[in-house]
């Protein structure tokens, strides 16, 4: 058996740079930039007003309270600024409208009074106030996004504002998903004696999609070498293969044997974690082939620990890790044996600004509700003697992405 950290490293060394494609901006949500994005334009592209009010020359402000300024123009948003502003005058201006030449300051309308076509300034702003200057958000030539950035709603907005209509993004890795087990029945069909519904294919489907990759559901392989071989052979057309079940030491566990026959080069089998011990990983012609254990929690936890970082790295993401924190146990922590234990937990904010955790009830590797309830995974080192409530532990969250790898125990 190898360690959790060794297993992660062995997986990540096999990740090759992603392919790319060009997509229209509106199809790029959730994708990852394949090249840095340099702005072809400044934002804003012109000086404009940050307020509804009057555009003035700062030098006129001293006399503007007593004498007032002649209102000589009106500039709504979306129109050209018109004539340059003459000394001693003011242009009525709306938020977002371009500043006329000569003006350098905007007096907000609430601080003015109008009489006989003149505006009297009741409260003068400092010279230069209430103006949004050209290029104050983005300068032409600025790198607005690095390579490997996830395109979320804010990024899509930023790209729209600089006039980008299409861009190069990483291709989504295609991930074949196979459930193995003669006891498995697809959802929607009634269960016979000894049968269970195949849930692993669908947790994997969700995890793959959430990682920005494209799941390819290939269905159920019964515990039969020929049938398992036919399905894995088909799965090897895709970038990544995930099988669940059939990688343990049972008489009907055919996955490893079949993969050997198909030329999958084994990188490891067996990781010192609980759950997730019989995880198998190999490669064939650049494709990553994962055999996760059949128990539903073991399958999901294995995905979180090894497959998700690999799928993000396959898209060129830099922030491939889950955020992590140190939380204090709200309950006694059970001892571990020779494996790192990954328990599911709920987090609550401590009064003293830290975090506390409780485990999500029974932690059996088949108890999927422990995942449903969980905010994160508590990672307890091997040979931990157990301890009272109040001790700090590593908790890896089940949402979000960061660039810093969690400090998993050695
Ligand atoms: P295995 O790793 O094949 O020995 O399976 C371990 C346990 O996980 C057994 O109780 C299986 O019935 C269960 N299991 C295997 N595959 C699935 C699946 N796709 N969905 C739900 N449970 C499964
Ligand atoms: Mg099985």
For ligand 1, the distance from its centroid to the CA atom of residue 221, given in whole angstroms, is: 12
> What is the C-alpha to C-alpha distance for residues 276 and 294, in angstroms, rounded to an integer?
9
Contacts of 76 (CB under 8 A, 6+ apart): 94, 97
What angle is formed at CA 211 by the lines to CA 207 and CA 214, rounded to 5 degrees? Answer: 85
For ligand 1, the distance from its centroid to the CA atom of residue 292, given in whole angstroms, is: 10
For ligand 1, the distance from its centroid to the CA atom of residue 245, given in whole angstroms, is: 5
Ligand 1 contact via 191 beta carbon (within 6 Å): no
> What is the C-alpha to C-alpha distance for residues 38 and 26, in angstroms, rounded to an integer?
19
Ligand 1 contact via 263 beta carbon (within 6 Å): no
The b/e string for 318-352 (b: 16+ C-beta within 10 A; e otherwise) is bebbbbbbebbbbeebeebeebbbbbbbebeeeee
Distance of CA 404 to the CA centre of its chain: 14
Place of tokens 């195949």: 198
For ligand 1, the distance from its centroid to the CA atom of residue 281, given in whole angstroms, is: 18
Alpha-helical regions (H) of 295-350 = 296-302, 308-314
Q: Are 383 and 395 in contact (CB under 8 A)?
A: no
Closest ligand by atom to 184 CA: 1
**CA trace torsion 256, 258, 264, 266 (10° rounding):** 20
> What is the C-alpha to C-alpha distance for residues 95 and 98, in angstroms, rounded to an integer?
9
- Ion ligand 2, residue ranges at CB < 5 A: 181, 245-246, 294
Reduced to 3 states, what is the DSSP secondary structure of residue 6?
helix
Specify the pLDDT at position 143. 98
- Long-range CB contacts (within 8 A, 24+) of 60-64: 60/87, 60/88, 60/90, 61/105, 61/107, 61/121, 61/124, 61/125, 61/127, 62/124, 64/90, 64/107, 64/119, 64/120, 64/121, 64/124
- In angstroms, the Cα distances linking 299 to 186, 197, 280, 403 are 17, 15, 11, 24
For residue range 167-205, what is the model confidence (pLDDT) as tens digits? 999 999 999 999 999 999 999 999 999 999 999 999 999
Specify the pLDDT at position 211. 98
Q: Are 107 and 124 in contact (CB under 8 A)?
A: yes
Ligand 1 contact via 203 beta carbon (within 6 Å): no
- In angstroms, the Cα distances linking 288 to 4, 201, 212, 294, 397 are 18, 17, 16, 19, 25
Ligand 1 contact via 181 beta carbon (within 6 Å): yes
Rg (the chain; Cα; Å): 30
- Where the chain has pLDDT below 50, the residues are none
What angle is formed at CA 81 by the lines to CA 75 and CA 82, rounded to 5 degrees? Answer: 100
Specify the pLDDT at position 17. 84
| Number of the ligand 1 atom closest to the C-alpha atom of 199 | 20
Place of tokens 């401590």: 350
State the pairing for strand pair 287-292/273-274. unpaired
CA dihedral sign of residues 60, 63, 66, 70: negative
Specify the pLDDT at position 351. 78
Closest ligand by atom to 299 CA: 1
Contacts of 132 (CB under 8 A, 6+ apart): 44, 47, 48, 49, 50
Contacts of 258 (CB under 8 A, 6+ apart): 225, 228, 229, 232
Ligand 1 contact via 183 beta carbon (within 6 Å): yes
| Number of the ligand 1 atom closest to the C-alpha atom of 179 | 19
For residue range 204-214, what is the model confidence (pLDDT) as tens digits? 999 999 999 99
For ligand 1, the distance from its centroid to the CA atom of residue 366, given in whole angstroms, is: 8
Tell me phi and psi for residue 18, to 5 degrees: -75, 160
């Amino acid at each position: 058996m190898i360690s959790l950290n060794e297993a992660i490293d062995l997986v990540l060394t096999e990740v090759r740079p992603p392919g790319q494609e060009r997509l229209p901006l509106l199809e790029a949500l959730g994708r990852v930039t394949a090249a840095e994005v340099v702005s072809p334009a400044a934002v804003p592209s012109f000086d404009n007003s940050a307020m509804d009010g009057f555009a003035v020359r700062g030098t006129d402000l001293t006399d503007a309270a007593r004498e007032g300024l002649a209102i000589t123009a009106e500039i709504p948003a979306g129109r050209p600024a018109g004539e340059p502003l003459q000394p001693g005058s003011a242009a009525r201006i709306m938020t977002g409208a371009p500043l006329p030449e000569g003006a350098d300051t905007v007096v907000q309308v609430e601080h003015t009074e109008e009489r006989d076509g003149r505006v009297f300034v009741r409260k003068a702003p400092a010279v230069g106030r209430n103006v949004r200057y050209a290029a104050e958000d983005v300068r032409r030539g600025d790198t607005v996004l690095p390579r490997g950035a996830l395109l979320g709603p804010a990024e899509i907005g930023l790209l729209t504002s600089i006039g980008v209509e299409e861009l190069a993004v990483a291709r989504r890795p295609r991930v074949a998903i196979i459930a193995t087990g003669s006891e498995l029945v697809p959802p929607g069909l009634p269960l016979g004696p000894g049968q269970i519904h195949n849930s692993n294919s669908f947790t994997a489907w969700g995890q793959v999609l959430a990682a920005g990759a494209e799941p390819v559901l290939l269905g159920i392989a019964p515990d039969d070498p020929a049938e398992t071989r036919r399905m894995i052979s088909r799965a090897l057309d895709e970038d990544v293969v995930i099988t669940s079940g059939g990688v343990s030491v049972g008489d009907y566990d055919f996955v490893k044997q079949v993969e050997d026959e198909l030329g999958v080069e084994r990188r490891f089998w067996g990781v010192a974690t609980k759950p997730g011990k019989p995880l198998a990983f190999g490669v064939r012609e650049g494709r990553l082939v994962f055999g996760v254990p059949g128990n539903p929690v073991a399958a999901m936890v294995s995905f979180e620990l090894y497959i998700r970082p690999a799928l993000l790295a396959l898209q060129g993401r830099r922030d491939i890790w889950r955020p992590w924190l140190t939380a204090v146990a709200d309950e006694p922590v059970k001892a571990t044996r020779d494996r790192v234990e990954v328990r599911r937990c709920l987090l609550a904010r401590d009064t003293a600004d830290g975090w506390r955790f409780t485990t999500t009830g029974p932690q059996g590797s088949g108890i999927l509700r422990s995942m449903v309830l969980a905010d994160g995974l508590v990672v307890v080192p091997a040979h931990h003697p157990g301890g009272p409530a109040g001790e700090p532990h590593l908790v890896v969250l089940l949402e979000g992405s960061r660039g810093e790898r969690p400090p998993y125990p050695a």
